[in-house]
Structure 1
Amino acid sequence: MADLERIKSDPQAGFWSQLGESRAVMLGAPDAGHHMQPMTPMAAPEEGAIWFFATRDSDIARQSRGGAHVHMCLMGEGADYYACIEGKLEETESREHVDRFWSPAVAAWYPEGRDDPELALLRLRPASGRAWASTASGARFGREVAKANETGTTPDVGVVTDLTF
């Protein structure tokens, strides 16, 4: 669930928290002519990076060679947080990060394990973005809609904030 006060006071911390709870994001290079695709993010806020495993022959891995400008869209697990960020995605060699993020779920995609020749490690360095967070409370939402209809105002059910990394 989105913590509206935290997101208002520290949008970046709110983003990293939401990303850490997410199982999937949509990732893609808008200028590449390919659709965005679901990917599992591995957040490393202390590095200002988001890591992904991919296969070497995938569209996203090919686009990342030499660096690609990408967009990443996140929908929080509670459907009360959304973010779209942009940044640079590049394929990198880092045994440390392969070991750090390796799991049984990742292993299922790479039959030869951590040394599978098809394994590509991608690093996204976010630059900027925008986030939307709303209340998860149905009661609050109902009160705000009723108040807005009575007063001719718009409901106050959340926050929109810019992200700078």
Structure 2
Amino acid sequence: METSTKETKQRNVENLSGKAAVSKIRELVDSSGLCFFQTEVSFDENQSARPMSIQKSDEDGTLWFLSSIESAKNAEINNNPKARLFFQKTSSMEFLELRGTAKISQDKKMIHELWDGIAKNWFPQGKDDPRISIIQFTPEAGHYWDTKHGAGLAGAKMLFGLVTGKPMKVGVEGELDV
């Protein structure tokens, strides 16, 4: 069902594709740094989500993570490479959901590029720990919610709408087509 222009303006929807979608992804990903990484994406009970730290985001929207080659997450990706990521930037009430494909490698050059001191908590042998793997997540589509004004102003607008009975446009949302 196609949304009319009038309905789109009332709902404050701004769908983004190509470079604009990638720009929105990088803006939200780079400012949050953490996500919930969901594997075994389906509509049954066999889904797993866990918090993950993003090591890098590329110009094309590709996201990079470090993970143990022995982890359940890696086994799930090997079984089904489809994944979903969920981001939240609480300070400004921005949210992002990405759908895409995950790929695992043990490229030593990339591990060295992505390495930071915090990773030593999971890989005590350092950059050359044989258990380190890389997860490369390539986004295909997603959805974002952005207040455009931060949590304080969004809350004030919602309260004003409640008191006056006149709905206030709190932010913008839209589909992302990478």
The equivalent of 2:34 in structure 1 is 24
Q: Does 1:86 align with 2:86?
A: no
Distance 1:11 1:88 in 2: 17
Which of 147, 150, 160 aligns to 1:146? It is: 160
Distance 1:139 1:17 in 2: 20
Alignment TM-score, normalising by the size of structure 2: 0.76
Q: Per the alignment, in what secondary structure is the counterpart of residue 46 of structure 1?
A: coil
Letter in 1 for 2:73: I
Distance 2:134 2:140 in 1: 19
Question: Residues 1-165 of structure 1 correspond to what in structure 2 (within 5 A)?
Answer: 10-29=20-39, 30-31=41-42, 33-65=46-78, 68-134=81-147, 135-136=149-150, 138-139=152-153, 141-143=155-157, 145-147=159-161, 149-150=163-164, 152-165=165-178
CA change 1:86–1:19 in 2 (3 A) is same
Distance 1:49 1:156 in 2: 32
Alignment TM-score, normalising by the size of structure 1: 0.82
Distance 2:93 2:24 in 1: 12
Contact 2:28–2:89 (CA<8 Å) still a contact in 1? yes
Letter in 2 for 1:136: G
CA change 1:112–1:147 in 2 (3 A) is closer
5+ residue gaps, structure 2: 1-13
Distance 1:50 1:95 in 2: 17
Contact 1:131–1:162 (CA<8 Å) still a contact in 2? yes
5+ residue gaps, structure 1: 1-6
Choose 77-86 or 133-142, whichever is displaced more.
133-142
Q: How many residues align?
A: 158
Per-residue CA deviations over 1:93-145 (Å, capped at 9, x if unaligned) read 32232111101001221122222121111110010000001131524642454
